[in-house]
Amino acid sequence: MDIPITIPFVDLNLQHLPIQNQLQQAIQVVLEQGDFVLGKALSDFEAAFATASGTKYGIGVASGTDAITLGLQACNIHAGDEVILPANTFVATLIGVLRTGAKPILVDCDPHTALIDLEAAAKAITAKTKALIPVHLYGQMVSPKQLLDLADTYKILIFEDAAQAHLAEREGYRAGSVGIAAAFSFYPSKNLGAFGDGGILLTQNQDVAEKMVRLRNYGASRKYFHTEIGTNSRLDTIQAAVLHQKLPYLQNWNRDRLTIAQHYDTELAPLATQGIIPIQNHSAQGHVYHLYVIRICESCPVNRSVIQEELTAMGIQTGIHYPIPCHLQPGFSDLGYQKGDFPHAEMLANQILSLPMYPGLSHSQIQKVTDAIARILKVNSPTESLLFA
């Protein structure tokens, strides 16, 4: 029997229905102009998103994964180089590195923020290290100051994976403006989402921008003249038109996410003694909460799987981002990593649970989620069942 969903994990209709007419009109303009590939709406959106993020150049591509892969290539990263990245990221970060031919060097994360452990990263630097990829996981930036210090000390590049961090801020920096370049995804459920796949590379560096423009377009420096082995990976004009219509709302949507996270924090605070601990926010108002993630710690009397199953049974959708760290995925076993290599990443994979999070999620819905968790803890706690025995 299907359980009716009372609170979904995401609800994109809440974003799109109020601006449906302007979205349809923007699509209509592209239909009339017929410039479906590399059209005007694309260059307009690229400039707008780069400006909003505090950078100079934006180059739209077919996905966030391509923004990472081609972006690293545009930064001249190739076979023989080492690239450092966290073990607890979405696999696309790792795939991007592997596609360049460079050797990925995974490192552990901070158990409280789930962000890359920069001390571990510094220890992993060798003479071959060309770049470090901070993943601004869940919408929180890795400390820009510490990243720039590392880059300066060790003469390495910072390449941001900002796929979950559109317009996030920390220490006066916007996501995408810290490193040599930054990759964003416009997958529909991201903070800024297209009506399909999409991505963009942002950079301040003219050489990187120019190489990226060639790489996404068969390596062509001009029509039918190819200076390198590129590919076909362009952000569709129609997607750019949709994204450009949505961009002015992004800041408010992000603010709404922050308010929702603050409500969750308040409602969940009494459950801390039972081992329910939210992932820590070290960037104050700058966190854009792509996801709201809690830890169900060892001290919690109830298993994560029980909590998730019972929430599902009540029609409350949750997620796990991500259940298996990169180094334990079977597809990457050739890298030679083993269980135990990154204890914090492995611990978090077993503890984390992402709660419903989307602009428009109401205060009473948040309370329903947190009340449900409190009730599940109460009903399933061993001491409680003894009382009823």
361 token code pair: 């999620």
Catalytic residue among 40, 130, 145, 190: 190
105-119 CB burial, b ≥16 within 10 A, e <16: bbbbbbbebbbbbbe
User: Which of the stretches 17-25, 86-94, 138-146, 354-362 binds ligand PLP when contact is defined by CB under 6 A?
Assistant: 86-94
Q: What's the closest the beta carbon of residue 162 comes to ligand PLP, in angstroms?
A: 8
CA distance 212 to 219: 9
Using rule CB under 6 A, residue 89 touches ligand PLP: yes
For the chain, the three-class secondary structure string (H helix, E strand, C coil) is: CCCCCCECCCCCHHHHHHHHHHHHHHHHHHHHHCCCCCCHHHHHHHHHHHHHCCCCEEEEECCHHHHHHHHHHHCCCCCCCEEEEECCCCHHHHHHHHHHCCEEEEECECCCCCCECHHHHHHCCCCCEEEECCECHHHCCCCHHHHHHHHHHHCCEEEEECCCCCCCEECCEECCCCCCEEEEECCCCCCCCCCCCCEEEEECCHHHHHHHHHHCECCEEECCEECCCCCECCCCHHHHHHHHHHHHHHHHHHHHHHHHHHHHHHHHHHHHHHCEEECCCCCHHHCCCCCEEEEECCCCCCCHHHHHHHHHHCCECCECCCCCCHHHCHHHHHHCCCCCCCHHHHHHHHHEEEECCCCCCCHHHHHHHHHHHHHHHHHHCHHHHHHHC
State the number of binding residues for ligand PLP (CB under 6 A). 15
Nearest to 116 by CA among 79, 170, 62, 161: 161
Q: What's the closest the beta carbon of residue 167 comes to ligand PLP, in angstroms?
A: 15
Residues of this chain, 138-197, that bind ligand PLP according to CB under 6 A: 161, 163-164, 185, 187, 197
Q: Which residue is nearest to ligand PLP (CB)?
A: 64
Residues of this chain, 101-140, that bind ligand PLP according to CB under 6 A: 135
Using rule CB under 6 A, residue 92 touches ligand PLP: yes
Using rule CB under 6 A, residue 94 touches ligand PLP: no
User: Which of the stretches 12-20, 63-71, 144-152, 214-222 binds ligand PLP when contact is defined by CB under 6 A?
Assistant: 63-71
CB closer to ligand PLP out of 268 and 348: 348
Check if 190 is active-site.
yes
User: Which of the stretches 59-67, 76-84, 107-115, 141-149 binds ligand PLP when contact is defined by CB under 6 A?
Assistant: 59-67
Q: What's the closest the beta carbon of residue 181 comes to ligand PLP, in angstroms?
A: 14
Using rule CB under 6 A, residue 233 touches ligand PLP: no
CB closer to ligand PLP out of 159 and 300: 159
Q: What's the closest the beta carbon of residue 310 comes to ligand PLP, in angstroms?
A: 27
CB closer to ligand PLP out of 92 and 376: 92
Q: Quick one: which of 86, 179, 199, 356 contacts ligand PLP (CB under 6 A)? A: 199
Q: Quick one: which of 49, 57, 90, 289 contacts ligand PLP (CB under 6 A)? A: 90
Using rule CB under 6 A, residue 236 touches ligand PLP: no
Q: What's the closest the beta carbon of residue 314 comes to ligand PLP, in angstroms?
A: 27
**Where does this chain bind ligand PLP (CB under 6 A)?**
63-65, 89-90, 92-93, 135, 161, 163-164, 185, 187, 197, 199
Supply the residues annotated as catalytic: 190
